[in-house]
Structure 1
Amino acid sequence: MKILLVICCFFAGAQAWMSLRKTYGQQNLGTGHLGDVGDPLFLTPLIEAGRLDEAKALSRVGRLGDVEDVPSHAGFLTVNKQLGSNMFFWFFPAKENPETAPVVLWLQGGPGGSSLFGLFSEHGPYYVAEGGIPKLREVTWARRFSMLYIDNPVGTGYSFTRKDQGYARNETDVGRDLLEALQQFFTLFNEFAGNEFYASGESYAGKYVPAVAYAIHTAVQARVKINLKGIAIGDGLVDPSTMFDYADFLYQIGLVDSNQAAYIREASQKAKQFINDGRYLDAFYIFDALLNGDIVKETTYFKNVTGLNFLLQLPPIQGAKTTRILQRFCADSLSS
């Protein structure tokens, strides 16, 4: 199988290291809600029984607020019955030519970031305005692509497991669970099974995307053939040891001088040695002090020598309340 590999590599790749706290938040949002949302919709029993029309009808998502209705489906797919592991998905058929439009899987990073962040904050058909009000996004990937958002891995977002053994411990586990979810998804929505399929994601999904693509590519007894055509990764964390080498890049674009580049190079080599020794937290602290500034209290070395912050430079972005609004919306409007 020929696979088109599309990797979007930006200097913002450093953002892939950013802690879950800053991007997605972890505060306790309470149990407030706008009404009883009913019981979770487990679709696997219906899929296995061949009751596909019933499953599609039950998974149809109703209108959100006062905005125009956007056809979509959501529910849980059980990926491990013994452990009670279930993955939540939300699927939006393409607005234009859904019969032939490619299906794009979106996976958020983190690790531990819900893919609903990508849906509501980046490229889905909706965004959440002040007051937790859903609005239609003018420019959305869902116009020309059928978008499939899955909370991954199990334990992220609305995806859950009833036993600790259900949590992924490596990328093989991640790929296995996603493959099972996709097999069920394309059994249910078999009209899309022959369409081109792309796995995409950002940040820590730089690990998830290759994992699911590899699982699809090497599956020998797949119930449904998935028409994998390529993968896309933005600002991805793929291989930390390789990606630590910022010194020459920063020097060549004129942000640091030769002495500063030498310091960054030396620190990076030390961090890579920590990775080789299995001292991952120590390696992260070095990177955090050099560039990221997520945990260290002092100003990063990068900002000290350049006066720059490597992300969120534009005032409209710096002042945005998108994350907080989205957190409240997901807690109050979609949870019981």
Structure 2
Amino acid sequence: LPQLGSILLCALLLAASLVKAAPSADEVTYLPGLAKQPSFRQYSGYLHVGQNKHLHYWFVEAQSNPESSPLVLWLNGGPGCSSMTGLLTEHGPFTIQPDGTTLQYNDYSWNKIANMLYLESPAGVGFSYSDDKNYATNDTEVAHNNYLALKEFLRLFPEYGQNSLFLTGESYAGIYIPTLAEWVMQDASINLKGLAVGNGLSSYEINDNSLVYFSYYHGLLGTRLWTDLQNFCCSQGKCNFHKNPNLNCTLRMEEMIQIVEESGLNIYNLYAPCAGGVPGVYRPPGGKFPPLSQSLLQTLAAKKGLHLEPPCTNSTASSLYLNAPQVLKALHISPEAPKWSICSSEVNHNYNRLYMTMNDQYLKLLGTKKYRILVYNGDID
């Protein structure tokens, strides 16, 4: 009987270790810039994908009841932009201050109710890297690698394996999230409950066509240009601003896009000041598009080249903070990682976009009648 008791005790201890098995080497025990260290646990390190890719993650536990709170994956867009922007300037537990050294707690942090996993993807973005430094990739490869990273996270943190999972993101995550969900929904071991995409790119055609109406109804276009767009791009009550063979339509669209791009207005909040708001501050991301599928906006973007900094943003504070030696040490950043920047020109320029719409992905997800799906957009961006 004593021997049986010892066996049971060992079994219980083993079970307990499996329930709480977060990698202690990744725990952030001291985060520079905070007046007071947080009461919740946080982890930063790498999720190793395939044979040579290392995706940086920063995981913050929910402020209360992390064991039962949902797990939320967050991806920023680009393609090629860092999810640290989401953590430090949007809905993370800390907000970077203009001095680039100080963090303040965010009253509206999502980790008040959820365990937040911020992933820098694909390799080459932020602190993520590849051993061979080859950062050419595409939508299909990124979706699979994000799935593998999620599986690796759940292997390292098995205590969250049964928590409700939500996949979320913004901008080009309108492609990342549904394509990732296709992988996750096939894996019965993952408790996927839903997804949310904010201001996401889900259709180039809808994106291009809606931009014209947005611009006109927000007072950016004059009557003459609006009338010309209607005359040259519309027929029988339907307008095609996306891929119109009429040269006059193309010329008017170029004029319209120039107004939107080079006005110095804040495209993320039309009524807010624009950081660095000068003509020509914005150059839409380049990237490789499928032949014969280039919309007018994509073609113009390729002509005008690449600008790293998203329009009307100032990432100086985030860059100063994340590249500080004491922060690199606190977050366990590999010496092989690139210097942090808000977006990677190399990733963006070598990114092959394979999807023009997410219709099939959403129909597949909705057809299961299992998932909660939120697609939300601002009215002034």
Question: Which TM-score tier does this pair reach, normalised by the shorter chain?
Answer: 0.5 to 0.7
Is it true that 1:126 corresponds to 2:94 in the alignment?
A: yes
- 1:44-77 superposed Cα distances (whole Å, 9 cap, x missing partner): xxxxxx9997762111112213422341112111
The match for 1:157 is 126
User: TM-score normalized by structure 1?
Assistant: 0.67
- Partners of 1:154 and 1:161 within 8 A in 2: yes
Kindly report which structure 2 residues correspond to 1:35-74, keeping only aligned pairs within 5 A, or say none.
Answer: 56-65=23-32, 66-69=35-38, 70-74=40-44
Distance of 2:272 and 2:18 partners within structure 1: 50
- Partners of 2:266 and 2:274 within 8 A in 1: no
Aligned match for 2:80, one of 106, 112, 117: 112
1:250–1:134: structure 2 CA closer, same or farther, 3 Å change rule? Answer: closer
Give the secondary-structure state (helix, strand or coil) at the position aligned to 1:91. Answer: strand
Distance of 2:267 and 2:20 partners within structure 1: 49
Unpaired runs of 5+ residues, structure 1, are: 1-49, 275-281, 294-298
Partner amino acid for 1:71?
R
- Partners of 1:106 and 1:200 within 8 A in 2: yes
1:111–1:135: structure 2 CA closer, same or farther, 3 Å change rule? Answer: same
Which moves more between the two structures, 316-325 or 133-142? 316-325
Aligned match for 2:243, one of 269, 272, 287: 272
Distance of 1:273 and 1:169 partners within structure 2: 30
Aligned pairs, how many? 261
Give the secondary-structure state (helix, strand or coil) at the position aligned to 1:272. Answer: coil
Distance of 1:288 and 1:92 partners within structure 2: 43
- 1:251-277 superposed Cα distances (whole Å, 9 cap, x missing partner): 567765664334446579465359xxx
Distance of 2:197 and 2:54 partners within structure 1: 25
Is it true that 1:200 corresponds to 2:140 in the alignment?
A: no
- 1:78-114 superposed Cα distances (whole Å, 9 cap, x missing partner): 1111xx1111111111112212211111001122111
The match for 1:30 is none
Distance of 1:236 and 1:209 partners within structure 2: 10
User: TM-score normalized by structure 2?
Assistant: 0.59
The sequence identity of aligned pairs, in percent, is: 30
Distance of 2:314 and 2:212 partners within structure 1: 33
Shift of 1:286: 4.0
Distance of 2:49 and 2:276 partners within structure 1: 39
Aligned match for 2:198, one of 206, 217, 234: 234
Partner amino acid for 1:329?
Y
1:331–1:54: structure 2 CA closer, same or farther, 3 Å change rule? Answer: same
Partner amino acid for 1:327?
S
1:136–1:160: structure 2 CA closer, same or farther, 3 Å change rule? Answer: same
Unpaired runs of 5+ residues, structure 2, are: 1-16, 234-238, 278-311, 336-381
The match for 1:326 is 318
- 1:1-36 superposed Cα distances (whole Å, 9 cap, x missing partner): xxxxxxxxxxxxxxxxxxxxxxxxxxxxxxxxxxxx
Which structure has the bigger radius of gyration?
2
Structure 1 vs Structure 2 CA RMSD: 3.4
Partner amino acid for 2:139?
E
